[in-house]
Amino acid sequence: MAPVEWTFASRLAYWATLRGDDPALIWVPVTGDQRYVTFSQLNHRSTRVAGALAARGVRAGDTVVVGLPNAPEHVVTTLAAWRLGAGVLPLPPNLPARERQRMLELARPRLAVASWPSPECPTLAPLELDPSNDSSAPDLADASPPPFPLIIGTGGSTGRPKLVRLPIPGRMAPNQGFGVLGQALGISRPLVHLICGPLYHGNPFAMTQVGLFEGQTVVLLERFSPAGALAAISEHRVQFATLVPTMMKRIAELPDFADADLDSLQAILHTAAPCPPAVKRVWIDVLGPKRLWEAFGSSESVGYIVIRGDDWLAHPGSIGRPLQTDVRILDATGREVPPGMVGEIYLRLHGSNGPAYEYVGHSPATQTADGYVSVGDLGWVDTDGWYYSADRSQDLIISGGANIVPAEVEAALLEHPAVADAAAIGLPDPDWGRRVHALVVPRDSSRAPSTGELDRHCRQALAAYKVPKGYEIVDVLPRTPMGKLNRSELVQARAIRTPAGATG
C-alpha cells in the first residue's frame, strides 16, 4: 500500500496539534534579538496570510512572487500561497529593476509580496501581512497543490533569464520529504536544521520547507556570516546543515573553528560547487569523515551522485557513486565514453521516465530518448565506478555556489556606451571557487572606461553576485568566423586548469 501523502498545510496543522509550543522557526538576524515562531504560531499566521492573499485575488493555479529577505514572513507567505493551491517564485528582494521585470514577464504572477514598487503586477507590502491585530483565522479549505509548487529563477544560456518549474515539494508522504538523499543521510525526521543560504535559491528554500514538513526546528540566518553560523550551531545544538564550499572555507578560517562545539552535528552536506580539497580535509579533521557528505545534482532534481567523507579520503577528488540514479557519460555524438574520458554527465532517477520539471523562457534540457537528462555538467568515471566532476561546461561560472551565465553579464556590459565588445569568464578564486572576470574592448582605446565606471554600470543592471570582481581592458576578443566567442582560449590564457587524472 502506498504511503498517505499530505499537503504542507495539513502537515503543519498536524505538527501544531502535536508540538504546538515547540519552535518551528528560530530566526537569527544580523543584529538584534532572535525571533522564535512555534508550530502553532506558524500554522495560525500562514492561515491568516492565506486569507490576505485570497482577498487580493490569489486562487489555485496562480503564481505568487515572494520578494522578501530571509525572515519568518518569507516562510509564512510561501505556506499561505501553497494553502491556496498557488505556486511560489522566490526572488531576491534587492533584484535590480530590469532583471526583476524580465522574471515577472516570464512568471506572470497574480501577486508579488515584496517591498519594491512594481508596475508589472500587483504588490502586497510585508507590513500588510502583519496578523498581530487579529487573532482569528479564516476558515480556508486546503487546496490541492499545483503541478509545480516551486518556481526558481535563473539565467538562461542566451543571457536571458529562465524559470525552472519544479514538481516538488507539493504533496508528500511523511519521512520521505528529502527523498533518496534524506534517506541516505538519515535526516527525514524531526531535528534541528540550520539554513544559511538565501531563500531565493532552490536548495535553502526547499530545505526550509521540507524541514518544517518533517517537524524540524529550522534555524534561519537572516544573512550568512561565518561567526554567526558557527555560533548558531553551538547555541541551538544544530544537527544538520547544508553549506556551499565558500561558506565552508570562511567558517574554517575562523580562529576558533578547530575548538568549536560541533558535537550536536550529525551530518553536514555540501553541494552546488566543487569544494577545494584543503577545505574539505579541514572539515573532515574537525567533524570526522562520516559526518561530512557531498552531493552532486541540480535544481532540476534529475538524479544524484553522493560521497561520504571516508570514501572521499579513499578516492580523493571523487564526487562519489550514484544514489538510486542511473548515470551515463556521453560524448558530443551521444555515445558513451570509456573510463577516464571527460564527457557530459547524463542522469536518470530510478523509476523515472524522464524529467518532471519544466523550463519557461528556455528550451528543454538535453536528454536521451530513454529519459537521461544533462544540465551541462562535465565529468568522468574511473574503472572502479567512482565519478569525478570536470566542472560545468566552461560557459557557466559557479561562484560561491551560485550559477552565473556569462552571456547575461556580457549583455549588461555591452549596454555601456563606451564598450564595443565584452566577455565574462570564471577565474579560480580561493574564496569563491570561481570569480567573474570581465574582458572589455573599448569603442575608443584612448578613452577606455575605468574599472569604477564599469562596476557602477554593472551594479545597476545585475544582481550583486553576478557583478564581475575584476575588469580587464583588451584590444580584441577571440571570435570564430561565425562570430562565436572562443571562451576556451580566454580561459586557457589565464591558466584555468583541467582536473588532474582526466583526459578530454
CA–CA distance, 11 with 478 (Å, rounded to integer): 56
Place 197 in a pLDDT band, splitting at 50, 70 and 90. very high
pLDDT of residue 480: 52
Q: H or E segment at 466?
A: none
pLDDT of residue 36: 98
373-384 in b/e burial notation, b at 16+ Cβ within 10 A? bbbbbbbbbeee
- Hey, what domains does the chain have and what are their CATH numbers? 324-393 (2.30.38.10), 397-493 (3.30.300.30)
Q: How confident is the model over 246-258, as pLDDT tens digits?
A: 899 889 989 999 9
* Mean pLDDT value across residues 78-84: 95
Ranges 53-62, 337-346, 447-456, 478-487: which has the least confidence:
478-487
pLDDT of residue 470: 93
Ranges 227-231, 339-343, 404-408, 455-459: which has the least confidence:
404-408
Strands 267-270 and 433-442: unpaired
Ranges 147-151, 279-283, 465-469, 496-500: which has the least confidence:
496-500
Is this prediction's pTM over 0.85? no
CA–CA distance, 170 with 148 (Å, rounded to integer): 7
* Mean pLDDT value across residues 79-84: 95
- Concatenated DSSP letters for 144-173? PPPS--EEEEEE-TTSSEEEEEE--SSSB-
Residue 132, pLDDT > 70, answer no
Specify the DSSP class assigned to residue 69: -
Residue 158, pLDDT > 50, answer no
pLDDT of residue 361: 73
Place 79 in a pLDDT band, splitting at 50, 70 and 90. very high
Ranges 62-71, 87-96, 472-481: which has the least confidence:
472-481
